[in-house]
Amino acid sequence: MTEPSDSSAAPAHLTGYEVIVGVCGGIAAFKAASLVSQLVQGGAGVTVAMTPSARRFIRPLTFEALTARRVFTSLWDAGGSHDPQHLSLTEAADLLIVAPATANTIARIAHGIADEPVSTLAISATCPILLAPAMNTRMWENPIVQENLRQLKARGIGEVPPGEGWLACRTVGTGRMAEPETIFERAIEILKATAPKHSG
C-alpha cells in the first residue's frame, strides 16, 4: 500500500467535508490508495466506490482499512438498508473524485450510462466532480475520448490532466494519471470554495 510522502496532508483542515473517490480499472488504481489516505489524514470523511474492473487491480479491503468505511462495489447490495446507496452517498458528498478515470468510465458518464457504481454515482451527483484520467496514449489522443471530455468540461466537470511517463503498456507517452498529491491539492481548492454541506 502506498503511503503519501507529502506531510502537508495533516493541516489541510478538511474536517466536515465528505468526499467520494471512484476507482476504475487500471494499473493506476493503486495510486488511489495514496489519494484516499491523504484525504483521510486531511480530516475528510471518505467513501470509496469501485467498478468491477477496479477490483481486479486492488482489493476493497485496502480502502476499507484506510477509510474505516464500507466500500461501495455493487448497485444491488443495500447493506441492510432500503436506502439506495448511490442517492444517499451523493446527497451527502461535497466532492466526487474519479481516479483513475478510464476511457470507459468517461464515456459512460458523458453519455448517461449508469450500470456500475462509479458512473451511477457520477450521474446522480449534484456536488462538483473531478476526473483524473489514466489510459494508454493512443486512447488518450483518440478524438472520441477528447470529445467526451469536452462534453463533460462543458457541463462543469473538472479534470486533472494526465502526465507523460512510463505506461503499463511499456511505452512512454501521455496518459499517466496525475500524482495523488496533485489531485489532492486540486481537491482542496474545490472543497475550500464552499462550506461543507453538513457543517453542523
* Catalytic residue positions, numbered: 169
Longest pairwise C-alpha distance within the chain:
50
What is the 3-state secondary structure of the chain?
CCCCCCHHHHHHCCCCCEEEEEECCCCCHHHHHHHHHHHHHCCCEEEEEECCCHHHCCCHHHHHHHHCCCCECCCCCCCCCCCCHHHHHHHHCCEEEEEEECHHHHHHHHCCCCCCHHHHHHHHCCCCEEEEECCCHHHHHCHHHHHHHHHHHHCCCEECCCEEEECCCCCEEEEECCCHHHHHHHHHHHHHCCCCCCCC
Beta strand pairing status for 129-133 and 95-101?
parallel
